[in-house]
Amino acid sequence: MAAALINNQASELSYMSKFLNAFLIGLIVGLGILYFYWRDTQQSAMILELQSDIEKLSQQTEEHLQATSDSPLTFSEMEQTYLPPIQQDIFENRQNAITTAIAHTKDAVVGINVVQVREYANPLRSDPFFRMFFDERMWPRTVKRSFTNIGSGFITTPDGYIVTNEHVVHDAVEIMVTTTAGDKYEAQVIGTDPLLDMALLRIDGENLPFVTWAHSEDAIVGEWVIAIGNPYGLFDVNDQPSVSVGVISAVERNFERDGDGRLYSDMIQTDAAINRGNSGGPLINAEGKSLGMNTMIFSESGGSVGIGFAIPAHRIIASIDDLLRGGVNRDYWIGIRATDLTGIMWRKLGLTQNRGALVTSVDKESPAAEVGIQIWDVICEINGYPIDTSADAREYLRNTDLRVGQSITMSVNRRGTYHDFVLELKPRPGSEINLEG
């Protein structure tokens, strides 16, 4: 009896377990069916909404085109007009001070291609075989060779005046200027100043785009600048200049004369890339005005390493004025010869220390003689620059842009007493006027 009861209970439990399993499986399947049905409904609604938006946009576009049929939009205008809001914001934010400055200036930048002729020593005269069979006096000491050079420049007036570096057009027999409009002009050299590495060219044009000048004395270290030019002749590819962006790294950088006799002073340093062919192009600020002219770099490889230099605008403007007046006469005359102090000479001359340049002769009727400088005077300063040796005096005069007509102040010690003399630089007697330019 008890066994029969137990069997009945076990049978009932087995039945209930199967029922619960079937119910759970059915519930899960039902929930899955409901989920997929809900998802399909949502997607259908989104598709219908999107189709409605597209139809509305198409209708608005058609109505707008019909309303403006007399002046249809260009493709670029339509693209800007109908950009989605997010893309429109991105497009507008891409326009900034730098892109505006470039757009305002780039058409005034030109590519310069130059044919140069230079003289070299005749290699045949140094050839042992040649000298064995031929008389070297029959052959010229030098030979001329022509080669091409590239550079940049920029138009400074609407009637075609262009500035560039002198080293770009040095020894040029032909100068071809290319504008962003694809026009080519043969340029005329108005004047050059090799010392300052400045050249002024002119092309025959009217109403040309031109660069305006910034106040380079107000340049700020750290402000954004853009170098524009013709690196490696890329301007010739599609008549468009290349741009590089950086900041002003330093100002008023001064250098001694280089091997070619050029003197770079008050230079603006920038990390904007300047490469071969960039020489002569403008260095512009965020207002689209030229702070200077890209001129040289420091590099071990020959390419940009982020240390470039530009001639400041105020020096370029002054040089343009000089060149338009015919050039600059730097063949000045002072009329002094000096040497170093030796031994205890400085004590005999009443000096408190052994420094200065001893005047050993003064030319008659020279600027030095006219102001009263005498033999045995010791030059201690020139324009406030300390002079310890006669070499210091020569280096100062060599590395300063002095011209006929300017004045310099010499501070001399005359047997223990200091005197200041102001000398006006005069042309060297017996020499023709030497105008650099």
| pLDDT, tens digit, 9 for 90 and up, residues 179-233 | 998 899 999 999 999 999 999 999 998 899 999 999 999 999 999 999 999 888 8
* Among 242, 279, 319, 366, the one annotated catalytic: 279
In this predicted model, what pLDDT tens digit does every residue of 273-293 receive, in sequence order? Answer: 988 888 999 999 999 999 999
Buried b / exposed e over 37-64, threshold 16 CB at 10 Å, is eeeeeeeeeeeeeeeeeeeeeeeeeeee
CATH number, domain of 342, equals 2.30.42.10
Q: Is residue 291 part of a domain?
A: yes
Residues 233 and 317 in one domain: yes
Q: Which residue has the tokens 């201690």?
A: 380
Residues 261 and 381 in one domain: no
CATH number, domain of 123, equals 2.40.10.120
Which residue has better confidence, 285 or 48? 285
In this predicted model, what pLDDT tens digit does every residue of 403-432 receive, in sequence order? Answer: 999 999 999 999 888 999 999 999 988 654
Residues 204 and 302 in one domain: yes
Which of 93-107, 140-154, 223-237 has the least mean pLDDT? 140-154
**Contact indicator for 272, 286 with CB cutoff of 8 Å:** no
Q: Is residue 91 part of a domain?
A: no
Of the pLDDT bands very low, low, confident and very high (cuts 50, 70, 90), residue 78 is very low
Q: Is residue 85 part of a domain?
A: no
Nearest to 293 by CA among 169, 178, 156: 156
- DSSP reduced 3-state for 23: helix
**Contact indicator for 209, 155 with CB cutoff of 8 Å:** yes
Q: Is residue 57 part of a domain?
A: no
Nearest to 221 by CA among 245, 246, 250, 254: 250
Residues 221 and 367 in one domain: no
**What's the burial of 14, exposed, middle or buried (CB within 10 Å: 0-12/13-18/19+)?**
exposed
Domain, as residue range, for 289: 104-324
Residue 90 has pLDDT above 70, yes or no: no
- DSSP reduced 3-state for 243: strand
Q: How many domains does the chain have?
A: 2
Nearest to 201 by CA among 185, 216, 182, 212: 185
Measured between alpha carbons, how far is 258 from 186 in angstroms, rounded to an integer?
30
Most confident of 46-50, 64-68, 260-264: 260-264
Residues 124 and 171 in one domain: yes
Token digits for 169?
């057009």
**Contact indicator for 161, 190 with CB cutoff of 8 Å:** yes
Catalytic residue status for 279: yes
Measured between alpha carbons, how far is 196 from 323 in angstroms, rounded to an integer?
12
- DSSP reduced 3-state for 1: coil
**Contact indicator for 331, 431 with CB cutoff of 8 Å:** yes
Residues 360 and 307 in one domain: no
Q: Is residue 37 part of a domain?
A: no
Name beta bridge partners: 296.
Answer: 309
Does the CA dihedral 140-146-151-155 come out positive or negative?
Answer: positive
Final residue before a domain boundary, out of 308, 324, 340: 324
Write down the number of H helices and E strands in the chain: 11, 23
- The count of other CB atoms within 10 Å of the CB of residue 99 is 12
Catalytic residue status for 271: no
Across the chain, what does the average pLDDT equal? 82
Nearest to 112 by CA among 68, 166, 43, 63: 166
pLDDT at 51: 66
Which of 110-124, 245-259, 325-339, 366-380 has the least mean pLDDT? 110-124
Q: Is residue 368 part of a domain?
A: yes
Residues 267 and 371 in one domain: no
Q: Is residue 63 part of a domain?
A: no
In this predicted model, what pLDDT tens digit does every residue of 368-382 receive, in sequence order? Answer: 999 999 999 999 999
- DSSP reduced 3-state for 221: coil
**Contact indicator for 154, 108 with CB cutoff of 8 Å:** yes
Residues 122 and 142 in one domain: yes
pLDDT at 257: 87
Residues 278 and 338 in one domain: no
Nearest to 285 by CA among 217, 356, 198: 217
Residues 235 and 339 in one domain: no
- The count of other CB atoms within 10 Å of the CB of residue 422 is 10
Mean of pLDDT values over 372-398: 93
Final residue before a domain boundary, out of 295, 324, 353: 324
Residues 380 and 319 in one domain: no
* Among 197, 271, 377, 392, the one annotated catalytic: 197
Of the pLDDT bands very low, low, confident and very high (cuts 50, 70, 90), residue 437 is very low
pLDDT at 196: 93
Mean of pLDDT values over 17-39: 70
Mean of pLDDT values over 241-260: 91
Measured between alpha carbons, how far is 297 from 300 in angstroms, rounded to an integer?
10
Residues 153 and 300 in one domain: yes
Of the pLDDT bands very low, low, confident and very high (cuts 50, 70, 90), residue 75 is very low
Final residue before a domain boundary, out of 324, 342, 366: 324
pLDDT at 79: 47
Q: Is residue 266 part of a domain?
A: yes
pLDDT at 126: 62
Share of residues in the chain with pLDDT > 90 (%) = 49
Residue 400 has pLDDT above 60, yes or no: yes
